């Protein structure tokens, strides 16, 4: 056997497995309730029925072939892309705003990587047991028990991953039909590819890579750290209180009561290591704030449990700001929002959200564009009359078929000619084009610079919209 092989530095760093201990407490409860709420939203939404005349009765349906998103009573068309831009802007500003106030709260409680990892750890714990059992199983040789338990965990993970992928695909097709088609091999190739890719990526990200996604892959975690300020709340270990004059020490006899410890110059930290054991990214918060910390607060719960059991005051690890920790007499931690940056984010958030709500609630039942045909700008007819032509494009955004009537104001009756289409009927979500021509005598043409084209949905005169258009004629400077 080759000697010295053990000392040799490995070329590639192996992931150090993390076995997290489960914990009870405020932040754990909050994290769990966010998880339950988010999962209920994600997994149940595609199955929520919603009566529709021209589409499957599904409350949320991203109808790609029909080029529209059906979201409850709202139909979103590609031309509403501004809404998507607004939504993304709002999401980004919300992230900045929250990060400025309470640090990486998004990472710890709301990010899908956190939620799915949490769920996968829960599965692991249900099958393999609590942390010591899992470590024992990890060190154990590959016997029947280990194969069954580890195999069972991975199988359960794959099932959860598959249903995640399947659910995602169900947003793009009528869910009950999709599941049947999927099983019988009738579904579209895109459905299999989507479900397959998401199964693999969920399994890899939440089951195998876990904290490596947050530390190596995720860009948000990295750029969120630049939004920290001295006032930002983050998970901190109160080192002054924890370490005392002579550092942390276990709670042996003679140094168990707080008074005894303080007398000996020992800190409040009993060095139980529970905060490290519960951390999903495997860090020691007592080393200070670090980039791997996702601010999930589980170490706070763990520490508080220990503090309670010894009868020490809570909050050795807590949400606090750097500023407050450095103060001579730290005050009670609180959210400090009176800063130019956070107020700016807040104002932008309110403005953009109100604009989006306004835009969604006041949109018309149809879109129209009127383009003057500019090749040629005008035509001189055989009797000398001048004719201009216009292309009218109507997109029906309402839920049902609608007929549109087109008329003109500002030109004599009979000047407007709509050719074969006196009115046009457009199916929901579709567009129709009408060519209109307006013919004026040379004298009238010289006087007419603009007139109005009026589009009226039949039976809904209140929704009539007019469009002012140019009328061009020869010999008049444009």
Partner 1 sequence: MSEQKLQSQTVQTTGHAWDGDLQEYNNPLPVWWVYTFYVTVAFAIIYWIIYPSWPFGKGWIGGLSSITYVNSDGETKTHSWNTRALLMEKLNKADAEQKPYFDKVASMSYEQIAKDPDMNGFILSAGKALFSDNCAPCHQQGGQGKIGFFPNLTDDDWLYGGTYAKINETITNGRHGYMPTFSEVLSPEQIDDLANYVASLSGIGHDAAKAAAGNTLFHSDTAACYYCHGADAKGRQVIGSANLTDKVWLWADVPGADTAEGKVAAIRTVISNGLNKGVMPTWGGRLSAEQIKVLTVYVHELGGGQ
How far apart are CB 9 and partner 1 at their closest, in Å?
5
420 binds partner 1 (CB under 8 A): yes
Q: How many other β-carbons are positioned within 10 Å of the β-carbon of residue 2?
A: 6
Q: If binding is defined by CB under 8 A, does position 9 make contact with partner 1? A: yes
Cβ 210 to partner 1 shortest distance, Å? 11
Run of H or E residues at 449? none
Question: Residues 55, 60, 200, 373: which binds partner 1 (CB under 8 A)?
Answer: 373
CB crowding 144-163: b at 16 or more within 10 Å, else e: eebeebbeebbebbeebbbb
| 249 and 262 Cβ atoms separated by less than 8 Å | no
Burial of 199 (0-12, 13-18, 19+ CB in 10 A): buried
Distances (CA, A) of 286 to 135, 136, 267, 406: 23, 26, 12, 73
Interface characters, 325-364, with partner 1 (x: CB under 8 A)? ----------------------------------------
Q: By CB under 8 A, which span of 13-21, 145-153, 292-300, 336-344 interacts with partner 1?
A: 13-21
And the tokens for 168? 């995602």
- End-to-end, the C-alpha distance of the chain in Å comes to 94
Characterise 291 by phi-psi region: left (phi > 0), alpha (psi -120 to 50), beta (else). alpha
421 binds partner 1 (CB under 8 A): yes
Helix (H, G, I), strand (E, B) or coil at 440: strand
Rule CB under 8 A: choose which of 1, 51, 253, 375 binds partner 1.
375
**Among 71, 249, 360, 380, interactor with partner 1 by CB under 8 A:** 380
369 binds partner 1 (CB under 8 A): no
C-beta of 405 vs 435, nearer to partner 1:
435
- The tokens for 466 are 């007019």
With b for 16 or more beta-carbon neighbours within 10 A and e for fewer, the 308-328 pattern comes to eeeebeebbbbbbbbebbeee
From 122-130, 145-153, 185-193, 377-385, span contacting partner 1 (CB under 8 A): 377-385
- Whether the Cβ atoms of residue 275 and residue 265 lie closer than 8 Å to each other: no
Least distance from C-beta 375 to partner 1, angstroms? Answer: 2
Of 7-15, 115-123, 323-331, 360-368, the segment contacting partner 1 by CB under 8 A is 7-15
Q: Which stretch binds partner 1 (CB under 8 A): 5-13, 78-86, 330-338, 445-453?
A: 5-13
Binders of partner 1 in range 216-235 (CB under 8 A): 216
Q: Is 382 in the site for partner 1 (CB under 8 A)?
A: yes
178-217 footprint of partner 1 as x/- string (CB under 8 A): -------------------------------x--x---x-
Q: Which two tokens stand for residue 249?
A: 């020490």
What's the min distance (Å) between Cβ of 420 and partner 1? 5
Name 315's Cβ contacts closer than 8 Å, sequence gap at least 6: 238, 304, 307
Is residue 185 a contact partner of residue 144, using CB atoms and an 8 Å limit?
no
Count residues binding partner 1 (CB under 8 A): 34
Nearer to partner 1, 233 or 294 (CB): 294
Block residue for tokens 């399947």: 166
Q: Does 374 bind partner 1 (CB under 8 A)?
A: yes
C-alpha distances in Å from residue 406, one per residue of 70, 398, 400, 416, 453: 29, 18, 19, 9, 7
Phi first, then psi: what are they for 86, rounded to 5°?
-60, -45
Interaction with partner 1 in 15-34: which residues (CB under 8 A)?
15
Tokens representing 179? 């599941």
Asked if 389 is part of the footprint of partner 1 (rule: CB under 8 A), the reply reads yes
Based on the shown chain and the rule CB under 8 A, indicate whether residue 400 belongs to the binding site for partner 1.
no
Instruction: Choose among 408, 409, 410, 428: nearest CA to 418.
Output: 408
Contact between residue 19 and residue 298 where contact means Cβ atoms under 8 Å apart: no
Nearer to partner 1, 91 or 197 (CB): 197
Shortest distance in whole angstroms from residue 205 CB to partner 1: 11
- Distance between CA atoms of residues 204 and 198, nearest Å: 10
Which residue of 11, 259, 340, 462 would you call a contact of partner 1, by CB under 8 A? 11
Can you tell me the distance from the alpha carbon of 349 to that of 217, in angstroms, rounded to the nearest whole number? 28
| Minimum CB distance to partner 1 smaller for 10 or for 51 | 10
- Residues 80-109 binding partner 1 (CB under 8 A) are none
CB of 432 to partner 1, least distance (A): 6
313 near partner 1, judged by CB under 8 A: no
C-beta of 258 vs 379, nearer to partner 1 = 379
376 touches partner 1 by CB under 8 A: yes
Stretch that binds partner 1, among 97-105, 195-203, 224-232, 382-390 (CB under 8 A): 382-390
Instruction: Output the smallest distance, CB 2 to partner 1, in A.
Output: 15
List residues binding partner 1 (CB under 8 A). Answer: 8-15, 209, 212, 216, 373-376, 379-384, 387, 389, 419-421, 424-426, 432-433, 435, 437, 474
């Amino acid at each position: 056997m080759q000697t010295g092989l053990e000392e040799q530095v490995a070329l590639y760093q192996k992931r150090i497995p993390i076995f997290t201990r489960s914990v009870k407490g405020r932040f754990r409860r909050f994290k769990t309730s966010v998880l339950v709420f988010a999962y209920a939203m994600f997994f149940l939404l595609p199955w929520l029925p919603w009566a529709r005349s021209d589409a499957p009765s599904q409350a949320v349906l991203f109808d790609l072939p029909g080029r529209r998103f059906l979201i409850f009573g709202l139909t979103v068309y590609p031309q509403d892309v501004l809404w998507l831009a607004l939504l993304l802007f709002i999401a980004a500003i919300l992230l900045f705003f929250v990060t400025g106030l309470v640090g990486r709260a998004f990472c710890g409680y709301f990010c899908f990587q956190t939620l799915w990892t949490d769920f996968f750890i829960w599965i692991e714990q249900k099958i393999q047991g609590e942390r010591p059992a899992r470590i024992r199983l990890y060190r154990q040789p590959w016997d029947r028990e280990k194969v069954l338990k580890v195999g069972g965990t991975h199988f359960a993970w794959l099932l959860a991953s598959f249903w995640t992928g399947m659910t995602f695909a169900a947003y793009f097709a009528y869910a009950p039909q999709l599941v049947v088609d999927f099983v019988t091999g009738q579904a579209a190739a895109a459905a299999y590819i989507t479900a397959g890719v998401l199964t693999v990526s969920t399994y890899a990200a939440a089951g195998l890579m876990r904290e490596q996604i947050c530390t190596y892959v995720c860009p948000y975690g990295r750029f969120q750290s630049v939004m920290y300020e001295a006032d930002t709340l983050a998970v901190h270990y109160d080192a002054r209180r924890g370490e005392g004059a002579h550092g942390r020490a276990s709670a042996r006899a003679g140094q168990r009561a707080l008074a005894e410890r303080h007398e000996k110059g020992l800190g409040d930290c009993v060095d139980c290591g529970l905060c490290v054991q519960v951390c999903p990214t495997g860090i020691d918060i007592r080393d200070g704030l670090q980039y791997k910390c996702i601010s999930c607060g589980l170490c706070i719960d763990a520490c508080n449990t220990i503090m309670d059991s010894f009868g020490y005051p809570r909050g050795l690890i807590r949400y606090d700001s750097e500023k407050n920790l450095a103060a001579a007499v730290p005050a009670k931690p609180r959210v400090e929002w009176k800063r130019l940056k956070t107020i700016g984010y807040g104002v932008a958030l309110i403005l953009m959200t109100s604009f989006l709500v306004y835009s969604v609630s006041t949109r018309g039942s149809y879109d129209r564009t009127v383009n003057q045909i500019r090749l040629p700008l005008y035509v001189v007819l055989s009797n000398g009359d001048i004719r201009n032509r216009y292309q009218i494009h109507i997109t029906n955004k309402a839920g049902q078929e609608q007929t549109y009537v087109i008329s003109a104001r500002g030109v004599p009756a009979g000047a407007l000619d709509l050719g074969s289409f006196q009115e046009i009927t457009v199916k929901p979500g579709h567009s129709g084009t009408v060519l209109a021509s307006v013919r004026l005598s040379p004298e009238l043409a010289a006087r007419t610079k603009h007139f109005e084209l009026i589009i009226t949905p039949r039976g809904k005169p209140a929704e009539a919209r007019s469009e002012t258009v140019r009328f061009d004629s020869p010999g008049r400077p444009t």
